[in-house]
């Protein structure tokens, strides 16, 4: 069993807490609470980090503090230092093209216009990492996207996103064990 990095994408600072763009942070915060561990700021990796065990796997939970567009800097530093291959990195991020509460898992692929993913691909030199796409919905027009992702969801949307996070936490052991098909089938049936 190799080590893993689970990265939650978001923006640091209290003004971004609870915003749609920070759903990756939401998931990692919930996972840390469930595991009884606490993040500490690690300047060396430009992020908040905690090492823990999840279903027998050594896992680094990482919240980059470099802002979304520079997330790759933090991910690359951590992966290079601990020699963790791209295949053992799971990136949790918001997804405009999915309705709130929808979750999709995938391996490889492009950035799909997501600046956090774009920078991770650029900084690590590859696309072979896993992605967990948490749906946040779309505002309806591309000119509205920036304000939309940096605002808080409605109570109904938030509840759906939180349910999706619970679903992801339920299948994480399967993902880390290499049972992606089983995890995806269960997730996509919810």
Residues forming the annotated binding site for tRNA?
16, 67, 69, 115
CB neighbours of residue 96 within 10 Å: 18
Backbone angles phi, psi at 59, to 5 degrees: -130, 135
CA 141 to chain centroid? 24
Reported as type and span, the H/E element at residue 52 is strand 47-54
Tell me the C-alpha distance between 187 and 63, whole Å.
24
Active-site residue, 93 included: no
CA 71 to chain centroid? 11
Residue with tokens 């948490």: 134
CB neighbours of residue 175 within 10 Å: 23
21, 46, 93, 114: which is the annotated catalytic residue?
21
3-state helix/strand/coil string of 74-133: HHHHHHHHHCCCHHHEEEEEEECCCCCCCEEEEECCCCCCCHHHHHHHHHHCCCCCEEEE
Annotated binding site: 16, 67, 69, 115
Positions annotated as catalytic residues are 21
């Amino acid at each position: 069993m190799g080590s893993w990095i689970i990265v939650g994408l978001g923006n640091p600072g209290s003004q971004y807490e609870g915003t749609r763009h920070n759903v990756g942070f939401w998931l990692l915060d919930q996972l840390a609470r469930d595991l009884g561990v606490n993040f500490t700021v690690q300047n060396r990796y430009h992020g908040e980090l905690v090492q823990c065990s999840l279903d027998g796997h050594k896992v680094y939970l990482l919240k980059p503090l470099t802002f979304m567009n520079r997330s790759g800097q933090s991910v690359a530093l951590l992966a290079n230092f601990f020699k963790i291959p791209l295949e053992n990195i799971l990136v949790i991020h918001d997804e405009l093209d999915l309705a709130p509460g929808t979750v999709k898992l995938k391996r490889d692929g492009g950035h799909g216009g997501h600046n956090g993913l774009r920078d991770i691909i650029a900084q690590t030199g590859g696309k072979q990492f896993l992605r967990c796409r948490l749906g946040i919905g779309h505002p309806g027009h591309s000119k509205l996207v920036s304000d939309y992702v940096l605002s808080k969801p409605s109570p109904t949307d938030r509840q759906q996103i939180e349910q999706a996070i619970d679903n992801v936490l339920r299948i994480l052991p399967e993902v880390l064990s290499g049972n992606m098909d089983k995890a995806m089938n269960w997730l996509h049936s919810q």
